Structure 1
Amino acid sequence: MAFGSRAAGKHRGSSRLSRKTAGYAGIAALATTGVVGSLAAPAFAADNSNNHSAPDNALGAVVVSEDLAGDIEDQAASQQRAAEHAAAKAQAEADAKQRAAEAKRLAEAKAKAEREAAERAAREEERKRLNTFVSPLDGSYVSTQYKAGGGMWSSGSHTGIDFHAASGSTVRAVGVGVVVEAGWGGAYGNNVVIKHNDGTYTQYGHLSSLSVSVGQQVAPGQQIGLSGSTGNSSGPHLHFEARTGADYGSDIDPIAYLRSHGVSL
């Protein structure tokens, strides 16, 4: 039928009012050209009392069909918009979570780097502290050299070096260590012996008084006593020895020892 066919392909039609107007216009045109009249003529001839509603029913069916199609298209478009909105919202939430996760990762990485830097700094500070050595007397000089000969020493030679010092001068630990002897040492008078972290020992003799005790931890430059002339001594000074062991006879060159630890003499 001329008014029953529709163009192929899916497209969004005009508004329902426009479609209704077009439907009515189409029916009117067909009626004017006589198409409706010719098609409906047998029905009018058969029963004149029942043919008045047929054109109206056909026209109503076309309009209802157009309305239904429009409603379906509107609903589909609304659902499409809702789906697109939901997808956009979900994507935005996913992007926000990703940004938050990345920010957290960066913050954790920064905190870790700061901790590691602090730990490295602490280790370096400890390393410096452990390897820092100073002279046992500030502003003094060596008055008697290592291995100097003479009858004053039972071994026939000097087992350490003497630092010039007036009585009561501050005597300092040359490096980090533990006091293993503090008290009377015979010919050494009042003396202190310290074991250092590298396994070496230092001795400080002829002290007038002691400031530390056995087992005490000492730091570089810490006062351990005051200089004097106790024991086998010809006058106030500091006798200083460097040793490989705690006992007498394990002495090594004190000047070379101090210089190897960065002390200028």
Structure 2
Amino acid sequence: MAFTRPTGKHRRPSRLTRKSANMAGVAALATTGVIGGLASPALAAGSDTSADAAHSVADTGLTQALVIGDSLADQIAAQAESQRQAAVKAEAARKAEAERKAEAEREARAAAEARAKKVREERAAKERAARAAERKRLNSYTLPVAGSVVTTGYNAGGSLWSSGSHSGVDFRAPSGSSVVSVGRGTVVEAGWGGAYGNNIVIRMNDGTYTQYGHLSSIGVSVGQAVTTGQQIGLSGSTGNSTGPHLHFEARTTPDYGSDMDPTAYLRAHGVSI
């Protein structure tokens, strides 16, 4: 009985056709840069040393596998490692730059804070100095008539005084000269004082008293607080007086008879006289 080979699309390709296809596939792989060997060395080389072996591969329908050579695999691995290292370096550089910027910002903040602290400290120092100067000024003493000199000293004797001696000192002061408080205190008397004419008595902050007599006018009132150098009246010649001047006393109480040396008193409070 005779057998015939099927025709048409069911016809198995000839060995020549399969070989040509395999060679074309290998050429295509080589063109794309993928170089390797076929699963079967004989097929990879394009040889057909055994018709049965070729027929067996074709009959089984197995796909021929390509294996990348060691050299290409090493190149790919090296390229991947190079890329990984480049990524690591880039990330390290990014982190280093971020840290540099953060450090610069920290330094800038620290410098700004240091400047602000210095400004605050300088301001505080100036304020302390100003307060100290003000306290010194307020607690300091001065002459009752600026630039004046004593014309009649303390305890000078004579018939001009009912007690027989001068209970204070007289400062030269033309009528209308400004009379100031020699220090800080509170006015305890302001008005007519008999022989003293218009007079003012001030209780000083240290507990002593000062008295200002023969004034032409009075500029303060009882209970009023006064500071060093504050004008309290104008000089004159009221009361028992031989002419314009300021009679000044330092006392231990507000009353007549408790007097002490006014010159020594002022010098003890730092006044040059």
TM-score w.r.t. the length of structure 1 is 0.70
Instruction: Identify which of 72, 89, 94 aligns with 1:81.
Output: 89
Task: Find the residue that maps to 1:47 and give its secondary structure.
Answer: helix
Counterpart residue identity of residue 149, structure 2: Y
Identity of aligned residues (%): 55
Counterpart check, 1:232 vs 2:254: no
How much does 1:74 deviate?
4.5
Deviation at 1:58, TM superposition (A): 5.1
Cα deviation, residue 191, structure 1: 0.5
Q: Which residue of 1 aligns with 2:106?
A: 98
2:151 alignment counterpart? 143
User: Which residues of 2 match residues 141-180 of structure 1 at below 5 A?
Assistant: 141-180=149-188
1-side partners of 2:183 and 2:131: how far apart?
17
Of 236, 250, 257 in structure 1, the residue corresponding to residue 265 of structure 2 is 257
Matching residue of 2:4? none
1:151 offset after TM fit, Å? 4.3
Distance of aligned partners of 1:74 and 1:206 in 2 relative to their CA distance in 1, 3 Å threshold: same
Task: Measure, in 1, the Cα distance between the counterparts of 2:130 and 2:204.
Answer: 20
Partner of 2:117: 109
Gaps of 5+ in 2: 1-31, 59-63
- Higher alpha-carbon deviation: 168-177 or 201-210: 168-177
Q: CA RMSD in A?
A: 3.7
Structure 1 segments (4+ residues) deviating >6 Å: none
Indicate yes or no: 2:53 matched with 1:47. Answer: yes
Cα distance per residue 1:58-104 (max 9 Å; x no partner):
55465774465256324423431342133213312321232133113
Aligned counterpart for 1:197 among listed residues 205, 212, 218: 205
Gaps of 5+ in 1: 1-19, 28-35
Equivalenced residue count is: 234
Superposed CA deviations along residues 181-220 of structure 1, whole A, max 9, x for unmatched, are 2111222221012233333321101112112222334343
Whether the 8 Å contact between 1:44 and 1:51 is mirrored in structure 2 is no
> What amino acid maps onto 1:182 in structure 2?
A
Deviations 1:151-192 (A, max 9, x none): 444444322112233433332222333323211122222101
**Residue-by-residue CA offset, 1:215-263 (whole Å, 9 max, x unaligned):** 3343433332222222233443221001233333332210111222333
Q: Confirm or deny: 8 A CA contact 1:171 1:226 kept in the other structure.
A: yes
User: SS at 1:117's partner residue?
Assistant: helix
